[in-house]
C-alpha cells in the first residue's frame, strides 16, 4: 500500500466504492468491448498511417512561459488526453486536442495561461485507461483530463477520477452509466445513495457524444419523422450483441415498433455469413435495416453491397465514421448511413467548417467526431475557467471543486457540434451529460451517408449528411439495386 497515493489508500481501507465495485458493474462488457475496439480501422486516411502517434510535444511554447497577458499569465493548464492511439478515432482525439491548445495559445491562452496537452495512450484497454489516467494526474500534474473511448474503459477509470478529485470530460464513449452514477437522484447503482454517489463522481462530465439512450431516442425520432418521405414501412433491427450496445438495443426493441413495423429484430454476434439474416430481412419485405454495429460491421456492409440486398442499410455503424473506411471496403460502404456528431461536410455551428479546414490543413486528414468533441472540451474548459477566475476573483487556475459549479451552470459557445452547450444538472437522471432534447431542436445527431460526389472528390467517397434539414449537405441516396 505504501506506493499508493494517500487518497487511493483511504478509499480501499474504508470500504467505499472501489475499483472492484465499478468493475462488477461494468466489467461484463469489457472483453467484448475491447474486441470491438480491436476491430475498428487503424488507418485514418490513405497515405496517413502514423502521423502524430506518440508525439508528446505540446503546442504553443509548451514550457509554461506566458503566452499572453492576463491574470493567469505565467500559469500553465495541463490537460491530459486519454486516447486509444491504435484507432483512427483516438488519433483524431489527440489531433483535436493539440489543435485546440495551439489555437488557444496563439490567441493569448486562457487569461494568459499556457495550455499544454499531454497524451495518455489508452489503447483499447480499460486497465490501460485507468493507469494512464493516474499517471497523467499524479505524475504529469494534469489539472484535468478528457477523452476515453469505450464504456468499459470509462467505468474502470471512474474510481481513479473520483479518487484524484480531478475533472474529466469524456469525448468519445457514449455509455450512459457514467451519467447515472453521477446523478444525485439515482441510488440504484452502488446502494450508497444518490447524494453520496454525486459527491464522489461529480468530477465526470461528458462533452459528447450523446449517451446511447439519447441516441436511441434520436433514432426513433429520425425514423418517425422521415419514414414517409423515405417510403419505409417495415424495418429490421440488427444490433450487435455487444455489452456496449445493450442500452441502445433494449430501448429500440421496446419502442421502435411504436413508430414502424419491425418484423425482424436480432442481436447478432459472431456472424460472418450474413446470408441467412439478409434472406430473412428480404423475406419480410423490410425496407431498411436499422443497425448498431462495431465489431461485425465490415462483413455486414461488404456482403450487403456485394449481394445487392434489397433494403437500405444504416443506423449506428462505428467503422464507417472513419475516413479510411471507403478504401477499407473498396467502396462497398457507399449508401450506408450512420449517426454521427458531425461530418467533414456539415456546418453544425459556425465553428464546424473552420475547424475541419484547419484540421485538414494541419493533419492532412479529416476529423472523426471524437476529434471535434475533444477540440470542444478545450474550448469549453477555457470558458469555464475564465468564468471561475472572474467569478471567484482568483489569480491562479481554479481547482476542480471550484470549477464544477461553473461547468454545471454555464452555457458554452464556440462548439463545433452544438451551438449552445450545457451539461444536464446534477439531479437529472443522467447528470453532467450533454443537454439534448431532440434532433428537431438541436440539429444533432446528423445522419452521415457515404456518397460519391465528384464535386468534392472524384476518386473517393464523401461523408455527406442527409438529415436533419438544418445540417443537411446532400439528399439521401439509395443503391440502384434497392427496389422497395
Partner 1 sequence: MVLDTILSAAFISALYAVIAIGFTLIFGVGGILNFAHGGFITLGAFSAYIASGYFGLPIFVGLLAGTLVGAAIGGATYLGVIRYVRTRPVTILILTFVIGFFMMYFVRVFGREILGIDPLNIPVDPVIGFSSFANDVFIFATSWLLIGALFYFVNYTRTGRAIIAVSMSDKGASLVGIDSERINLITWVLAGAFAGYAGVLLAGSLGGGSWLMSIEPPAPLVLSFAIVILGGLGSIKGSVVGAYIIGFFETFTVTFAPGGSQLAGISSLVLLLVFLLVKPEGLFGREAAE
- 3-state SS, residue 2: coil
Please state, in angstroms and rounded to a whole number, the distance separating the CA atoms of residues 271 and 295.
10
Which of 366, 431 has the CB closer to partner 1?
A: 366
What phi-psi label fits residue 150: left (phi over 0), alpha (psi between -120 and 50 degrees) or beta?
Answer: left
CB of 46 to partner 1, least distance (A): 7
Query: What is the number of alpha carbons within 13 Å of residue 135 lying toward its C-beta?
Result: 13
Q: Determine the interface stretch with partner 1 among 228-236, 329-337, 371-379, 414-422 (rule: CB under 8 A).
A: 329-337
Work out whether 438 is an interface residue with partner 1 (CB under 8 A): no
| Mode of pairing for the β-strands spanning 457-467 and 446-453 | antiparallel
CB of 350 to partner 1, least distance (A): 33
Work out whether 275 is an interface residue with partner 1 (CB under 8 A): yes
Closest to 477 in 3D by CA, of 380, 351, 335: 335
What phi-psi label fits residue 171: left (phi over 0), alpha (psi between -120 and 50 degrees) or beta?
Answer: alpha
CB of 302 to partner 1, least distance (A): 2
Q: Determine the interface stretch with partner 1 among 52-60, 200-208, 214-222, 271-279 (rule: CB under 8 A).
A: 271-279
Read off the C-alpha cell for 346.
Answer: 456539415
Q: For partner 1, what does the binding mask look like between residues 47 and 76, x meaning CB under 8 A?
A: x-x---------------------------
Can you tell me which of 101, 115, 237, 296 binds partner 1, judged by CB under 8 A?
296
Work out whether 364 is an interface residue with partner 1 (CB under 8 A): no
Work out whether 262 is an interface residue with partner 1 (CB under 8 A): no
Closest to 104 in 3D by CA, of 72, 133, 147: 72
CB of 182 to partner 1, least distance (A): 32
- In sequence order, what DSSP letters do the residues of 333-360 get, joined into one string? TTT-EEEES--TT--SSTTHHHHHHHHH
Work out whether 46 is an interface residue with partner 1 (CB under 8 A): yes
Can you tell me which of 18, 165, 310, 327 binds partner 1, judged by CB under 8 A?
327
CB of 320 to partner 1, least distance (A): 11
Work out whether 39 is an interface residue with partner 1 (CB under 8 A): yes
Q: Which residues contact 191 (CB under 8 A, 6 or more apart)?
A: none
Residues 224-243 touching partner 1, rule: CB under 8 A, are 241
Can you tell me which of 18, 25, 27, 42 binds partner 1, judged by CB under 8 A?
42
Can you tell me which of 157, 171, 324, 351 binds partner 1, judged by CB under 8 A?
324
Q: Determine the interface stretch with partner 1 among 172-180, 227-235, 299-307, 355-363 (rule: CB under 8 A).
A: 299-307
- In sequence order, what DSSP letters do the residues of 278-333 get, joined into one string? HHHHHHTT-SEEEEEESTTHHHHHHHHHHTT-SSEEEEEEGGGGSTTHHHHTTTTT
Work out whether 267 is an interface residue with partner 1 (CB under 8 A): yes
Gyration radius (Cα) of the chain, Å: 22
Work out whether 354 is an interface residue with partner 1 (CB under 8 A): no
Work out whether 187 is an interface residue with partner 1 (CB under 8 A): no
Work out whether 396 is an interface residue with partner 1 (CB under 8 A): no
CB contact at 8 A, 150 and 178: no
Closest to 243 in 3D by CA, of 310, 153, 330: 153
Please state, in angstroms and rounded to a whole number, the distance separating the CA atoms of residues 90 and 4.
29
Can you tell me which of 66, 185, 307, 470 binds partner 1, judged by CB under 8 A?
307
Work out whether 273 is an interface residue with partner 1 (CB under 8 A): yes
CB of 373 to partner 1, least distance (A): 23
Closest to 165 in 3D by CA, of 132, 119, 133: 133
Residues binding partner 1: what is the number (CB under 8 A)? 42
CB contact at 8 A, 155 and 175: yes
Can you tell me which of 122, 130, 190, 298 binds partner 1, judged by CB under 8 A?
298
Write out the residues near partner 1 by the rule CB under 8 A. 38-43, 46-47, 49, 241, 266-273, 275-277, 279-280, 283, 296, 298-299, 301-303, 305-308, 319, 324-325, 327-330, 332
Amino acid at each position: 500500500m505504501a506506493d499508493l497515493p494517500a487518497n487511493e489508500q483511504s478509499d480501499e481501507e474504508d470500504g467505499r466504492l472501489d475499483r472492484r465495485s465499478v468493475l462488477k458493474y461494468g466489467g461484463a462488457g469489457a472483453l467484448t468491448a475491447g474486441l470491438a475496439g480491436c476491430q475498428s480501422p487503424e488507418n485514418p486516411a490513405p497515405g496517413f498511417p502514423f502521423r502524430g502517434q506518440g508525439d508528446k510535444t505540446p503546442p504553443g511554447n509548451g514550457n509554461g512561459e506566458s503566452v499572453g497577458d492576463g491574470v493567469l499569465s505565467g500559469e500553465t493548464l495541463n490537460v491530459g488526453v486519454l486516447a486509444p492511439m491504435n484507432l483512427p478515432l483516438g488519433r483524431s482525439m489527440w489531433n483535436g486536442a493539440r489543435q485546440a491548445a495551439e489555437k488557444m495559445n496563439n490567441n493569448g491562452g486562457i487569461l494568459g495561461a499556457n495550455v499544454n496537452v499531454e497524451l495518455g495512450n489508452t489503447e483499447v484497454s480499460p486497465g490501460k485507461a485507468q493507469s494512464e489516467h493516474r499517471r497523467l494526474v499524479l505524475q504529469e500534474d494534469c489539472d484535468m483530463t478528457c477523452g476515453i473511448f469505450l464504456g468499459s474503459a470509462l467505468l474502470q477509470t471512474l474510481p481513479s477520477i473520483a479518487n484524484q478529485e480531478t475533472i474529466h470530460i469524456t469525448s468519445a464513449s457514449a455509455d450512459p452509466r457514467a451519467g447515472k452514477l453521477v446523478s444525485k437522484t439515482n441510488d440504484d447503482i452502488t446502494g450508497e445513495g444518490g447524494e453520496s454517489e454525486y459527491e464522489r463522481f461529480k468530477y465526470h462530465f461528458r462533452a459528447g457524444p450523446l449517451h446511447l439512450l439519447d441516441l436511441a431516442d434520436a433514432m426513433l425520432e429520425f425514423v418517425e419523422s422521415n419514414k414517409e418521405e423515405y417510403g419505409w414501412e417495415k424495418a429490421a433491427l440488427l444490433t450487435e450483441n455487444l455489452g456496449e450496445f445493450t442500452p441502445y438495443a433494449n430501448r429500440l426493441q421496446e419502442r421502435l415498433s411504436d413508430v414502424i413495423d419491425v418484423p425482424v429484430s436480432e442481436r447478432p454476434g459472431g456472424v460472418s455469413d450474413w446470408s441467412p439474416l439478409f434472406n430473412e430481412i428480404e423475406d419480410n419485405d423490410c425496407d431498411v435495416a436499422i443497425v448498431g454495429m462495431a465489431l461485425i460491421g465490415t462483413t455486414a456492409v461488404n456482403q450487403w453491397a456485394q449481394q445487392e440486398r434489397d433494403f437500405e442499410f444504416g443506423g449506428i455503424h462505428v467503422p464507417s465514421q472513419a475516413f479510411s473506411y471507403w478504401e477499407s471496403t473498396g467502396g462497398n460502404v457507399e449508401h450506408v448511413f450512420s449517426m454521427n456528431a458531425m461530418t467533414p461536410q456539415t456546418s453544425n455551428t459556425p465553428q464546424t467548417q473552420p475547424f475541419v479546414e484547419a484540421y485538414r490543413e494541419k493533419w492532412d486528414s479529416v476529423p472523426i467526431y471524437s476529434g471535434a468533441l475533444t477540440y470542444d472540451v478545450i474550448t469549453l474548459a477555457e470558458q469555464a475557467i475564465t468564468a471561475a477566475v472572474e467569478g471567484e476573483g482568483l489569480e491562479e487556475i481554479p481547482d476542480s471543486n471550484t470549477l464544477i459549479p461553473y461547468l454545471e451552470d454555464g452555457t458554452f459557445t464556440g462548439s463545433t457540434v452544438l451551438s449552445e452547450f450545457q451539461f444536464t444538472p446534477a439531479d437529472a437522471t443522467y447528470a453532467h451529460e450533454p443537454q439534448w432534447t431532440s434532433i428537431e431542436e438541436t440539429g444533432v445527431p446528423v445522419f452521415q451517408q457515404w456518397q460519391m460526389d465528384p464535386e468534392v472528390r472524384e476518386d473517393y467517397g464523401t461523408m455527406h449528411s442527409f438529415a436533419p434539414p438544418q445540417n443537411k449537405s446532400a439528399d439521401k441516396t439509395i443503391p440502384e439495386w434497392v427496389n422497395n
